[in-house]
Structure 1
């Protein structure tokens, strides 16, 4: 008798629970958390992306991301990433958008949404140095460069120089000042912003253009979690170009 009562209670409880589950699932669908926002990965390399003294994201790419999101009016979170991680996440589809220098390794993994900035890549040495600023002139010597950055095939294939990867141009210039490297290879954007930040006069250095017209592009991962945002961001980038705001964001310091 007691066993039959327990069975009846169990069956009744199961029926009530099964009836409530679909209602609960439906409620979660309608009132649950919003879908995950798209991610705009920003390489944490000065002056493109860094944290200011208050710990907040800052830099030219942070400004760009902020304006793109505002104009497109879409849910995108922009987050600082170590350079190599930013590249890896775009390839894997763990981030949706990134701005990187043109790179053959990225072309097969991401859609190119347009040119963001055009730079010159410079070789820089101390003013008292007599070394010829070219791959040939630097043969057998050390050249610092920002780790993970693509500076073209000539540099990638250069095997007669000793390449020294560094965290950023601050570190590269410090090594140059101490004589630990013979030259620094970096974009004009990175060099001029760093010199201004350190209050170092240009006259302390010799510079030579290594590569003209190196372009930074806005990319969207081919495995992006939010492919529907491709057109809105491309349109927002074009609007910034047409209004001149894009040029203003990447204006070189005087």
Structure 2
């Protein structure tokens, strides 16, 4: 059995143990999003967003269970009410049909970096210079309103950011886009650092980050408890302390 399958099974077994203990847990649809949502070698979810959600659940007196899934499947679970909560997922009109992005927000918008192959001489200083490029994106991810809605851009979807870095290295795409912190970690990896370079162009998504609660979830009645717990964490500095674990990379 593959490692990812073993990790997913471990989290699902943990979920079943929680359910057996009494009240059904708050099921966290858990897509990996390094460095904020990761798993260690033992399959234990970790990272700042993970710890933030654990603390929210603790203060709201709710037990938390993790359901690992790629983003597109996580969103489907939320739509079906099979999962209860997501965190850090971009708020869009389509997603608001089945997810309630509750107040307060816990973080400001994000900076989006672009990478090219290190031997690509084409300039990428302005948005318009993106048009000749085939740009790697991750399936299901929303980046920025202008970028997402621009029909002149050519996009090539992949299941993960790692896949896009490999495609860029192999010359199958011309550029990739992702969160600045996430791309910095992968670009520094020995597999990629000599083959890719960061482009000068930087895009910004102003949408604040929120916890999302599935509208069709049986735990939707806990919305006020979750919002109250998060508000208390913002007021006492817990959120700032947890998010500081993922320091912003140098430009």
Q: Which has the larger radius of gyration?
A: 1
1:243 to 2:236 alignment: yes
CA distance in 1, matches of 2:25, 2:158: 32
Quick check: 1:110 aligned with 2:99?
yes
Moved more, 105-114 or 125-134: 125-134
Q: Comparing both structures, which one devotes a greater share of its residues to helix?
A: 1
Q: Find the counterpart in structure 2 of residue 131 from structure 1.
A: 123
CA distance in 1, matches of 2:110, 2:149: 21
Q: In the TM superposition, what whole-angstrom CA distance separates every residue of 1:12-36 from its partner, at most 9, and x where no partner exists?
A: xxxxxxxxxxxxxxxxxxxx96232
User: How far apart are the structure 1 equivalents of 2:185 and 2:24?
Assistant: 35
Give the match for residue 162 of structure 1.
Answer: 154
Deviation at 1:133, TM superposition (A): 4.6
Two-structure CA RMSD over aligned residues (Å): 2.7
Secondary structure (helix, strand or coil) at the match of 1:88 reads helix
Residue 252 of structure 1 pairs with residue 243 of structure 2: no
CA distance in 2, matches of 1:243, 1:154: 36
TM-score (norm 2): 0.76
Question: CA 1:103/1:222 → structure 2, altered by over 3 Å: closer, same or farther?
Answer: same
**1:192-245 Cα shifts (integer Å, max 9, x gaps):** 3334565949x9422422224243221111112112321121122122222333
Closer, same or farther in 2 for the Cα pair 1:196/1:235, shift >3 Å? farther
Tell me, yes or no, if structure 1 residue 145 matches structure 2 residue 140: no
> What does residue 3 of structure 1 align with?
none
Spell out the pairing of 1:6-85 with structure 2 (5 A cutoff): 34-85=22-73
Q: Determine the structure 2 residue equivalent to 1:121.
A: 112
Residues of 2 paired with 1:91 and 1:146: CA distance?
A: 20
Given that 2:27 and 2:67 are in contact with CA atoms closer than 8 Å, whether structure 1 keeps it comes out as yes
- Cα 1:236/1:172, change in 2 over 3 Å: same
Aligned length: 222
Q: Which residue of 2 aligns with 1:101?
A: 90
Kept in 1, the 8 Å contact 2:38–2:46? The answer is yes
Q: CA separation in 2, counterparts of 1:200 and 1:81?
A: 28
